Chain A
């Protein structure tokens, strides 16, 4: 059975329907890139999977458990699926280490020593062991995003949702974050990432989902999708010269 199963998912903001019946199955260990123009619904799709948006129709199942709106279900879901945001969203009043420890202690009721050990391990994993006691505003954007990844990993999720996690970074900082993500993919973490990094998607992802106007427009292995786009929309998105 697939780890994440999305069936006929629909989501509207008022009159505007942003997701018009999405079907997607994600196997454990898959790395999926979601690409598409802004407004195509790709970020909304990720946010629905984490319960940050309420859905209007359809179902989302993660590891056999169906997404429901009550707090207990949402909490259970969010323990299975971590999320990384474009704007990092570190807690500015806590050090990097405390950022990584907090949810373990509060949500999982992990003891302080154990939470700290886990936090140090995860900070080391993203290459920031020496920044444990720094506050977020003492870190570069790339470092903040890596702390955010460590924070999500410390909850030991089954899958990570990455919402344009390099889009707010200066170009020279993108590499260090993608390097961490590449490592996670290699270790078998299930990843769903909305991204504009086409080269990265081509290298690392097992499947690419092209979204267009609230639908999954094309889906396939990266070498097929990038080398041989079927629809005119994807061709124009990828900048393929159709005349040629």
Chain B
């Protein structure tokens, strides 16, 4: 049996970290794009779409991410569709991220005072023009800090995908523990790497929040 040195463990974990980062980025960007689409459906004037999006967000916010991963992984398998772990992981995380982002962003749009709608309407602007020139530019500024803050949740959420066999940081940790019998060293390092990923994000979120509060107008 080969002996793993500390550096071997660390190197293997860092290789796996790459997948955690990739999965986080895919989830965040994919979830962001889907979330944006859902946002327009949610705040639009249609009668049908907002309730549909509402049910969607309730479902994804009201069930554990783990169940969503299982359903994406095993559920589609029941229909004879062979889903590789990376696809199930990516799909579930994108849907999950979108469900949270759409609610964060809806809050930001609704935080814009009613007077802004009325003033722009009284100047003759259409709904789309109001959105484009008045509401969204203001909502965007409010939205940046909580959105960056939520990205921390996405990074930590990727850890669950280890359970369906996607080899990211946590899964690599489990494999290395089984090989080395040094759970404290391995998981300690895993935790430190997650922290190294998340801490800068939460700091950036905090910084942005402070900055937005000082100069919220520009």
Q: Which residues of A contact B (CB under 8 A)?
A: 50-52, 71, 74-75, 78-79, 82-83, 85, 87, 89-93, 102-103, 106-108, 135-137, 148, 151-152, 155
Contacts and interface: CB of A to CB of B under 8 A. Distances in A.
B128 to A, nearest CB: 10
A78 B123 CA distance: 6
A52 B138 contact: no
Contacts, number: 68
Given A83-B122, A135-B218, A102 B116 contact: no
Contacts of A85: 115, 118-119, 122
Interface string B150-169: 00000000000000000000
B124 A79 contact: yes
Nearest to A77: B124
A32 B96 CA distance: 56
A52 B125 contact: no
A103 B125 contact: yes
Contact of B217 (A108, A135, A148): A135
Contacts of B119: 83, 85, 89-91, 148
B206 interface: no
Top 8 nearest A-B pairs (CB, nearest first) are A89-B119, A103-B123, A89-B115, A83-B122, A78-B124, A107-B124, A75-B124, A135-B217
A75 B122 contact: no
Contacts of B120: 91, 103
A98 to B, nearest CB: 10
A108 B124 CA distance: 9
B121 A78 contact: yes
Given A52-B121, A71-B126, A78-B124, 17 more contacts: A51-B121, A74-B121, A85-B115, A85-B118, A87-B115, A89-B115, A89-B119, A91-B134, A92-B138, A93-B137, A102-B133, A103-B124, A108-B124, A135-B217, A151-B123, A152-B122, A152-B123
Contacts of B218: 93, 135
A89 B123 CA distance: 12
Interface centre among B115, B123, B129, B134 (most CB of A within 10 A): B123
Contacts of B127: 71
B145 to A, nearest CB: 16
Interface in B105-146: 113, 115-116, 118-127, 129, 133-134, 137-138, 141
Contacts of A71: 126-127
Nearest to A148: B119
Contacts of B133: 102, 106
A50 B117 CA distance: 13
Contacts of B134: 91
A18 B127 CA distance: 27
B125 A137 contact: no
A127 B124 CA distance: 25
A155 B217 contact: no
B3 to A, nearest CB: 61
Contacts of A107: 123-125, 129
A136 B125 contact: no
A155 B118 CA distance: 16
Nearest to A90: B119
B116 A89 contact: yes
A64 B127 CA distance: 25
11 contacts: A78-B124, A85-B118, A85-B119, A85-B122, A90-B119, A91-B119, A91-B134, A93-B141, A93-B217, A103-B124, A106-B133
